[in-house]
Structure 1
Amino acid sequence: MCCYIQVQRELESCRSETELLQKQLTSERLLLVSSREKELQRQLTSQERQTEIQILKDKLSMADSK
């Protein structure tokens, strides 16, 4: 009987730890997705700025050549 109770307690402890680890993993996945989205947005913004700069340079070059 004592061994059975001990095994039950250990099982419950393992279940609790598993649940905690699953929650932690879910949180870390969400954080990773969020970080990736932010990085992608930064890259897109940077590309847009570079494109705008190039357009302005081209316009300036055309205006200077007239």
Structure 2
Amino acid sequence: MNDQKFEEEVEAKSCVLNAVKMQESFWKERARVKWLTDGDRNTFFFMPVPRFVLLVLECLLIHDGDMILFDP
């Protein structure tokens, strides 16, 4: 009887562990799908940064015919 309870407990733990893994997989996939459809919230913040850097660099460079001079 004691061995039967032990085996039932092992099987129950295995089922719980399997359910937890399935739940984690579900939430991970759902988050991935949400990220792919909605995008990253930080995109609107980080995308203008390279444009701003290019504008600053363009302001610092002086085009003189074929030469580009740097004016700090």
1:1-66 equivalences in 2 (<5 Å): 20-58=1-39
Which structure has more strand as a fraction of its residues?
A: 2
Greater relative contact order, per chain length (Cα 8 Å cut-off, separation 6+): 2
% of aligned pairs identical? 7
Moved over 2 A (4+): none
Q: What does residue 62 of structure 2 align with?
A: none
Structure 1: 5+ residue stretches without partners: 1-19, 62-66
More helix by share: 1
Distance 2:18 2:34 in 1: 24
TM-score w.r.t. length of structure 2: 0.53
Structure 2 letter corresponding to 1:40: K
Structure 2 spans left out of the alignment, 5+ residues: 44-72
- Normalized against structure 1, the TM-score is what? 0.58
Question: 2:18 corresponds to which letter in structure 1?
Answer: E
